[in-house]
Chains A and B, each alone.
Chain A
């Protein structure tokens, strides 16, 4: 077989089980593709030795016939996941040199199932960003380009390295994390599939924390079926994460029938944003028509507090970040600033954090510190948490009225050029998460999948939002939509 790196998870799994290919061959094909793709800056710590060792072990396991679905399949791991003995620095300078003595639960579960880690993937620093431009490793670059142009484009963020790697066929799948859209927005920008599961579905243990009440890990893949396969391996109860749900994980792949007859799909009127490009509106109405043609019932719904999701998010996420990131103090791990004679412990903290954090991280930590400060707490933080309750209630009302899933655009635009947003104020960048952030605030599962190309040849995505814990049903609706869109476009290779 040629071009083994281009296989998706399902195809590769089936080929492994039939003995048509070995995990070592698959892994070598991916490692070779990775080595030729430094221009994308997707893999920032490569682990070829670990990969080949695990691939050989997986081949032995496959021979014995004791092979879970992920056995022998190469994957990339976002740098936010702590991986034992392998640099894990959340794309931050402050964690330069940090080598964990432990493995995150999600990456451990993947390893236990026989998945092969190829290396660590680029991302926005501490997952704070929507373009992978805040990384200490430098920008990750999308494999996509506008037709007839060579302007480097963003793969989205924060899971930009994961999205670029999967889109460029460096690996069949990668882990991502999503606090406000960090799986779904990069998936939409790169023509890949990304699902953020229900809050509590995947353990957060060993994943560097950004905003603990919003963070969820999930798979980024080439197809809906692949997302189902990988989610099955990543999900599950973990006693080490007290917010992890003690619920059985159904076989979600087995739920992919493509039959959505009689399902009720909600179209939220508040998501028709002012100034939204006509191409996005068109994509959305075409997606709606496809679901209808597949037998679903389409209903207009109202989520009245949508407008307040981003402002609430930009109180709650920085507040939690300011608390979570207090641990980076130059004492226990990572970088400590060089001190001058006479500097005491306060100077050590202040210089270490000033030098170790990038601008966006500093901005969010300080905003978080402000909204939590005495005398301000009620006006900002508590108000935002009240609004969050209302946002969740909006969804509960809609689901109680019988809606099974909600269809929205994934992003308000296609990918933009790296640096194009650098003069904009921070709020302009925050607006990129307008369709995804509500889902995190409500703790719901959401999936982005490619649905078409814009006039410049760049991928555009749609998002489906499901009921809590019903990832299987959500994936099945996405599967039906995927079959209707028939999206197969790939970026032309220039790297």
Chain B
């Protein structure tokens, strides 16, 4: 599979990373180098092999469904670039 500039632009958009128009050809070329490397995987016979979900065979633990933490609004907001009145602030989302 080869990636063209439109696909590169689409991927950048999905990843929410702004890429300038003039940087797209180089980005697409880099993607293609990496994908060419990855495509070696097509040589492997994976018929009947399950995709790995957990590298160590262990059952995820369950815990009691109870509140065990909270009441730390100040701490949670302490690193926010913009926090107002106890909330994270962002640019206007709706007109």
Spell out A's residues near B (CB within 8 Å): 97-101, 198-200, 213, 239, 242-243, 245-246, 305, 307-308, 310-312, 314-315, 322, 326, 329-336, 339, 343-351, 353-354, 357, 362-363, 365-367, 369-371, 373, 376, 379-380, 382-390, 392, 425-427, 430, 441-443, 468
Bound together, the chains give a CA A243 to CA B57 distance in angstroms of 10
Bound together, the chains give a CA A243 to CA B54 distance in angstroms of 9
Count the B residues whose beta carbon is within 8 Å of the partner chain — how many? 52
**Contact between chains at B16 and A350 (CB < 8 Å):** yes
- Inside 8 A of A322's CB, which chain B residues have their CB? 15
**Contact between chains at B52 and A245 (CB < 8 Å):** no
- Inside 8 A of A330's CB, which chain B residues have their CB? 81
**Contact between chains at B37 and A351 (CB < 8 Å):** no
**Contact between chains at B34 and A388 (CB < 8 Å):** no
Residue of A198, A333, A362, A390 touching B46 (CB-CB under 8 A): A390
**Contact between chains at A365 and B17 (CB < 8 Å):** yes
**Contact between chains at A443 and B61 (CB < 8 Å):** no
**Contact between chains at A443 and B17 (CB < 8 Å):** no
| Max chain A Cβ within 10 angstroms of own Cβ: one of B13, B33, B37, B88 | B37
**Contact between chains at A443 and B56 (CB < 8 Å):** yes
Bound together, the chains give a CA A357 to CA B81 distance in angstroms of 16
The smallest beta-carbon distance between A41 and chain B, in angstroms, is: 25
**Contact between chains at B58 and A200 (CB < 8 Å):** yes
Bound together, the chains give a CA A380 to CA B37 distance in angstroms of 12
Q: A308-B40, A389-B49, A390-B44 are in contact. Are A245 and B58 (CB under 8 A)?
A: yes
**Contact between chains at B91 and A198 (CB < 8 Å):** no
The smallest beta-carbon distance between A425 and chain B, in angstroms, is: 5
Spell out B's residues near A (CB within 8 Å): 1, 3, 7, 11-19, 27, 30-31, 33-35, 37-44, 46, 49-56, 58, 60-61, 63, 72, 75-76, 78-82, 88, 90-93
- Inside 8 A of B80's CB, which chain A residues have their CB? 331-333
Residue of A329, A336, A373 touching B82 (CB-CB under 8 A): A336
**Contact between chains at A468 and B56 (CB < 8 Å):** yes
Bound together, the chains give a CA A386 to CA B48 distance in angstroms of 9
The smallest beta-carbon distance between A468 and chain B, in angstroms, is: 7
7 contacts between A and B (CB under 8 A): A239-B63, A246-B61, A369-B11, A389-B51, A392-B52, A425-B33, A468-B56
Bound together, the chains give a CA A442 to CA B90 distance in angstroms of 42
Bound together, the chains give a CA A383 to CA B31 distance in angstroms of 18
**Contact between chains at A354 and B34 (CB < 8 Å):** no
Shortest 9 CB-CB contacts between residues of A and residues of B: A385-B51, A443-B55, A336-B81, A333-B79, A350-B18, A386-B46, A354-B18, A349-B16, A369-B15
**Contact between chains at A389 and B52 (CB < 8 Å):** yes
- Inside 8 A of B93's CB, which chain A residues have their CB? 344-345
Bound together, the chains give a CA A357 to CA B63 distance in angstroms of 36
**Contact between chains at B63 and A382 (CB < 8 Å):** no
Bound together, the chains give a CA A385 to CA B52 distance in angstroms of 5
The smallest beta-carbon distance between A231 and chain B, in angstroms, is: 17
The smallest beta-carbon distance between B69 and chain A, in angstroms, is: 10
